[in-house]
Homo-oligomer: A and B are copies of this chain.
């Protein structure tokens, strides 16, 4: 399944969004639960199955989800599940203990609704670049339609009820995946991280909770979803991301003023290695792609398509390698397949 995702030109990976060199993607997700059932963590497998079936039968009435596919996680093999994880369509938690878990996903991958993850519904909308408000509009529509069809758990004092108390209130998490190589190179990132933590924003790596900041990617999101309106959360995130973006731009100016040749050297070497390697790990590839992306933003390297580059960050991941090769691969075989794809996609 999902082969069509790899070549979809309308996906959020097309790199066409605003500022997509610094802001890889914007995302909003809403956590919602049904009044008629306990939270997924507190019900049996057969009960979860009943919830899933209910959603499966009802969602075709939702206009915003027209054309979306409905997938039972247990019907997928392990590679497909990890493929969805790498594409940011499901969470780490959603690919373990898969019984009764489901996913509604649009062909362009902008919309993904997880069923029976931590909450009954986790609705997500992703956009290319810096475009949080479009995500909010889309997810708000989906939420409205779900609310008309289901009895959603909500209490006037608390707002939406969620499995984890940190999500209670709006149930909303807004995030931007930022690419901040200059802040890393100039060793300013730690200060930024401290600042973000102080103002109650969370930072994560490219692949969500608990992952390292590989490839100089930092996902910045609100920590608090209670006591603020949805609009306030979205506006706050937008303001913070704008500030961090300005810091990154400032750091890039400093790099070009003080170390131009060295930055040019690093960017071109990164491209040279990506275009010539025969074996490469995903970690090393991410580091070079990051440097290449910086080189493109700084006008050092031209003639590389931003959409091709942005999708490579995802496509070089292990499950993608296996999906593309249609084989269960050993590590060295993946490293070889990854090198081949990089050479092919980045060739002159």
Q: Which residues of A are in contact with B by a Cβ distance under 8 Å?
A: 261-262, 264-265, 268-269, 271-280, 332, 336, 339
Contact with A265, one of B261, B264, B278 (Cβ below 8 angstroms): B278
Q: State A274–B269 Cα separation when bound (angstroms).
A: 8
Other-chain residue from B269, B274, B275, B332 in contact with A261 (beta carbon distance below 8 A): B332
* Cα distance, A272 to B268, chains bound together (Å): 9
Residue A276 contacts which of B269, B336, B339 (CB distance < 8 angstroms)?
A: B269
Q: Which residues of B contact A264 (CB under 8 A)?
A: 278
Residue of B nearest to A271 (CB): B276
Q: How many copies does the complex hold?
A: 2
**Bound CA–CA A80/B273 (angstroms):** 36
User: Once bound together, how far apart are the Cα atoms of A265 and B275, in whole Å?
Assistant: 11
In the bound complex, do residue A273 and residue B278 qualify as a contact, i.e. CB atoms below 8 Å apart?
no
B261 touches A268 (CB 8 A): no
Contact A268 B277 (CB under 8 A): yes
- Residues of chain B lying within 8 A (CB to CB) of residue A277: 265, 268-269, 272
CA A239 – CA B186 in complex, angstroms? Answer: 57
Query: Could you show 8 A-B contacts with beta carbons less than 8 Å apart?
Result: A261-B278, A261-B336, A264-B278, A268-B278, A269-B276, A272-B275, A272-B276, A272-B277
The smallest beta-carbon distance between A248 and chain B, in angstroms, is 23
Which residues on the B side are within 8 Å of A278 (C-beta)?
Answer: 261-262, 264-265, 268
The one of B265, B275, B279, B332 that contacts A339, using a Cβ cutoff of 8 Å: B265
Q: Which residue of B lies closest to A278 (CB)?
A: B265
CA separation between A280 and B277, bound complex, in Å?
19
Q: Once the chains bind, are A268 and B276 in contact (CB under 8 Å)?
A: yes
9 nearest CB pairs, A to B: A272-B276, A272-B272, A265-B278, A268-B276, A265-B279, A264-B278, A272-B273, A269-B277, A269-B273
Cβ–Cβ contact A261 & B279, under 8 A: yes
A265 to B271, CA, bound (A): 15
